[in-house]
Amino acid sequence: MNPSVVLFFVFNVLATAFLGGKFASRRNDPVFRDFGIAMILNAIAFAIWSVGLISPAYLLPCVTLGTIIFLIALILLFFTAVQKSRSASTKWFLTVLAVVIALVVFYIGHLDPHSAFISPEGFLFFNLGGAIQMLYIFIMLLAVLPTVDLVASKFKSPYSSLFRYSLIAELCGGVILITSKDPQALYLSGWIIGLVYLVLLASFVFGRKAWEQ
């Protein structure tokens, strides 16, 4: 067990949960609310993966269950992004399409969870093929980027830019975690993700100015 990797997972769970809870508490705004719930689901997914990392005997079921919740979070993010569509039929069509794509990605990529493993350095790898990694990157970009832009537009400057580019940085870090097996790249991306989360927590969870309209 690598203490640094475990610490990253635990911190990621807590930071995402706190950030998600702050947004989810804004129940009067469906965009903030749904984005917050998606963040909380993401925190739950990382918590489940953390259990598999700490207790390798439960790794495979944890990978499967965590992935299901992670994909649900992406679907909710996509639903949040299409809320601005004036056509209800278009909104629901796109949401159903996102659900179908998520099911296909899960079926192809996680039909056999035995490919997941923990490396000698203590990193958790889902060991996905190149095509599945590409699909994950596509659906993450399509779900996250429009939602981030929509949420950021609800804040005044400079918090709108801070939120937008912080979440883009987190997304870039997530892509590296999916695609790279180089320890130095993983450590560096982990530190970047952690530092960006600290900025987000200070600005949007423990700070008040961002929420002043």
What's 125's DSSP letter? E
Q: Is 73 exposed, middle or buried (0-12, 13-18, 19+ CB in 10 A)?
A: buried
pLDDT (0 to 100) of residue 191: 93
- Check if the beta carbon of residue 77 is closer than 8 Å to that of residue 35: yes
Could you tell me which residues come within 8 angstroms of residue 110 by beta carbon, excluding any fewer than 6 positions away?
63, 64, 67, 126
Which domains are present in the chain? 3-206 (1.20.1070)
pTM of the model: 0.89
Mean pLDDT, rounded, for 111-129: 76
| pLDDT, tens only, 135-162 | 888 888 988 999 999 999 999 989 999 9
Mean pLDDT of 119-148: 85
Q: Which amino acid, 128?
A: L
* Integer CA distances (angstroms), 21 to 10, 39, 63, 171, in order: 16, 8, 24, 19
Residue 91: what pLDDT? 72
Tokens of 69: 């919740």
Question: What sign does the CA torsion over 24, 166, 68, 92 have?
Answer: positive
- DSSP per-residue letters across 152-186: HTTSPTTHHHHHHHHHHHHHHHHHHHHH---HHHH
Backbone phi, then psi, for 117, in 5-degree steps? -155, 165
CB 15 within 8 A of CB 197: yes
Peptide bond before residue 30 is cis, with ω within 30 degrees of 0: no
pLDDT surpassing 60 at residue 120: yes
Q: What is the pLDDT of residues 38-67, one digit of tens each?
A: 999 999 999 999 999 998 888 888 988 998
Summarised one tens digit per residue, pLDDT across range 79-119 is 888 776 666 677 777 778 778 888 887 777 665 556 778 88
The per-residue pLDDT of the chain, averaged, comes to: 87
